Amino acid sequence: MRNLLITILALLFSFLQLKAQDISLYQQYNGTINYTAIGNTLNAFENNLVREFCEILPSSSADLNIPNSANVVAAYLYWAGSGTGDQEVTLNNTQVTAEEIYNVEYQDSFYGTLTYFSCFTDITNIVTALGNTTYTLSDLDISETLTTNIGYCNNRTNFAGWSIYVIYEEASLPINQVSLFQGLEIINQVEQEKTIVIDNINVLDNDGAKIGFLAWEGDSNLNYGETLQINGNLISNPPLNPSDNAFNGTNSFTNTSTFYNGDLDVYNIQDNIAIGDTSVEIKLTTGDIDDTGVFRADLIILNNIITVLNSQLPDATVSIDYYNNDCYSNTIDLDYTIYNSNSTEVLPENTPIAFYANNQRIAQSVTENDIAIDGFENKNITLTIPNNIPDNFTLTIVVDDDGEGNGTVVELNETNNTTTENIQLTPLPESIELEPLLSCDIGFNTAIFNLTNPLEEITNNSLNSVTFYTTIEDLINNENNIIIPEHYQSTTSPQTIYIKIETEDCADIYQFNLLTENCPPTIPQGFSPNNDSVNDWFNIQGLYDIFENHELKIYNRYGTLLFVGDNTKRWEGKANRGITNQGKLLPVGTYFYVLNLNDNNFKLLTGWVYLNR
């Protein structure tokens, strides 16, 4: 059963070790903070001094001692050793499981590939609960690795150990930025030199600057060509860490040299960095000829790097929270947030913000207020997308950008000011032409229409949301829709009406024309011009303001022309022709009309009308 479990764990490690090994930034902390580290070896002796043993201790302990007024911000446990890894260990009677496992390999000329591992997990809750106490790590098992591959012990690279990093805050400390970088990188007699560049830092003041390392398998008895350089400067911490033997089983925090096959060291580097630096170059070397002419080299595995720098600077970042783009519109209503989270100073007001569509600047804004450390400012802007930008484009927001790619604020991290979002505008679809509506002119080329009648032609929509517009601009802007489409009076002929029918994606658009025609007028057979306000004039329905060029002639029974009217002269029973009877009300009787509509679609209309009193 145990062998089966080991096999399963081995398969698990084979997948986990695909994680990138290069040391890179894991986390940054800002404020009145510092860090300390504790740990211990599980080797009983240094390998190169005592060569007989090939086993590790069942447990080891170390004491944590941070100021009583300090508050634990974060705590991380690392454990490492020979082999592909043991992902579960016990810390103070609590089982701990690895969050990440790193592996590196050494190609030994006699024993082939030898693999080494480091595990990592967050134990902030444990350290916060226990505080300053003795921490004991146990159940780190590499026994099968050492018994199944004699190469580890024969070339004396059998090791195991652990360390706890604690980042803590205390009011009396200066404002610092603590940057933790981790991974697993190796140098040995095959690869004798390694250069690691750590960035995402900003040196505002190098006073008190320090750098720490957690490394494995270094031996005090192998100091051939072994150096540690910072920005090209050889560093040391004698007598604990001489310049020719930096990785020698020491612990700078306890000032001891019994951290066998491990190193937990910290160096003051205020003379090795300059104000304004944004990166640090770390170079490790090993390998040289011994006194007998034999080439010898130490095997050193670097697990993490940590820096403490006084950096009172803001750090502006930005996120897109929400955006809305109406159908057929080239405007975007955008909600976004400017943060000053990973910072040690206030982000000042009027920090510029640039907006780009496919790298073309389309808008500019600024922060309105000072943004405190760990603070933020919610903002909104309406962006108009230029016509030369395609419907599918990348929207980019850059905080601390004056629109020309220049920043105005010195920040802790100058590379995290950008956020992007892929935007899809919905173009205006081609409208679908429907059959026109025709109705009788009620005056001046206007008519009454039921605009819902054309919907009978539309069969591919639910018609749950239908609106009518007189212009395509109103349709696009959702403005001035026709309130009562069932009884709509046109304004001209022809007049185009637009229909918008909502769909899941946006909407379909239809259009049709309103056409007004002149219908035959309705001529009454009598009227009574007696000033009773009822039927007082010869009111021909569908004539006036419709056949605007018409001519109306009235004759008596003898054929005498008594009245000539047009669109502005209506017959009220009086004559406007003749010598003696002009302006006088004519006698009761039958009169005859000739109506010329002056419309090519109609002939002369003739008939009679009875005038009564």
Q: Could you read off the pLDDT of 242-266 as tens digits, one per residue?
A: 999 989 999 999 999 999 999 999 9
> Can you list the positions of beta strands (E) in 188-252?
193-198, 205-216, 227-230, 233-234
Question: What mean pLDDT do residues 188-209 have?
Answer: 83
Which pair of structure tokens corresponds to residue 299? 């095997």
The answer, yes or no, to whether residue 203 has pLDDT greater than 90, is: no
Which pair of structure tokens corresponds to residue 402? 């004056």
Please state the φ and ψ torsions of residue 206, each to the nearest 5 degrees: -85, 0
The answer, yes or no, to whether residue 193 has pLDDT greater than 50, is: yes
pLDDT at position 267 = 94
- 304-340 pLDDT, tens digit per residue, is 999 998 877 899 999 999 999 888 889 999 999 999 9
- 164-180 pLDDT, tens digit per residue, is 999 999 988 888 889 99
Question: What mean pLDDT do residues 596-607 have?
Answer: 93
Pairing of β 507-517 and β 437-440? parallel
Q: Quickly state the pLDDT bin for 123 (edges 50, 70, 90).
A: very high
Question: What mean pLDDT do residues 279-301 have?
Answer: 91
Lowest mean pLDDT among 9-13, 305-309, 370-374, 477-481: 9-13
- 529-551 pLDDT, tens digit per residue, is 998 889 999 999 999 999 999 99
For the purposes of burial, counting CB atoms within 10 Å of the CB of 140, is it exposed (0-12), middle (13-18) or buried (19 or more)? buried
The answer, yes or no, to whether residue 227 has pLDDT greater than 70, is: yes
Q: How far apart are CA 536 and CA 577, in angstroms?
A: 20
Non-local CB neighbours of 324 within 8 Å, separated by 6+ positions: 332, 333
The answer, yes or no, to whether residue 575 has pLDDT greater than 60, is: yes
Q: Quickly state the pLDDT bin for 222 (edges 50, 70, 90).
A: confident
Q: How far apart are CA 577 and CA 584, in angstroms?
A: 10
For the purposes of burial, counting CB atoms within 10 Å of the CB of 237, is it exposed (0-12), middle (13-18) or buried (19 or more)? middle
Residue ranges of the alpha helices (H) in 378-490? Answer: 472-477
Question: What mean pLDDT do residues 50-79 have?
Answer: 93
Handedness of CA 437, 443, 448, 451 (dihedral sign): positive
The candidate with the shortest Cα–Cα distance to 188, out of 238, 239, 224, is: 224
The answer, yes or no, to whether residue 303 has pLDDT greater than 90, is: yes
Q: Quickly state the pLDDT bin for 12 (edges 50, 70, 90).
A: very low
pLDDT at position 463 = 65
pLDDT at position 16 = 36
Q: Which domains occur in the chain, in start order?
A: 2-310 (no CATH), 317-424 (2.60.40.10), 432-517 (2.60.40), 521-613 (2.60.40)
Q: How far apart are CA 351 and CA 367, in angstroms?
A: 5
Average pLDDT value over all residues in the chain: 90
Question: What mean pLDDT do residues 552-575 have?
Answer: 93
pLDDT at position 412 = 77
The candidate with the shortest Cα–Cα distance to 37, out of 254, 224, 222, 272, is: 254
More confident residue, 88 or 55: 88
pLDDT at position 40 = 98
Q: Quickly state the pLDDT bin for 201 (edges 50, 70, 90).
A: confident
The answer, yes or no, to whether residue 120 has pLDDT greater than 60, is: yes
Q: Which residues of 547-581 are buried (b: 16+ CB within 10 A; e: fewer)?
A: bbebbbbbbbeeeeebbebeeeebbebbbeeeeeb
The answer, yes or no, to whether residue 58 has pLDDT greater than 70, is: yes
More confident residue, 326 or 594: 594
Question: What mean pLDDT do residues 208-225 have?
Answer: 90
- 396-435 pLDDT, tens digit per residue, is 999 999 999 999 998 878 889 999 999 999 888 889 999 9
pLDDT at position 312 = 77
The answer, yes or no, to whether residue 482 has pLDDT greater than 80, is: yes
Question: What mean pLDDT do residues 272-297 have?
Answer: 88
Which pair of structure tokens corresponds to residue 257? 């040299």
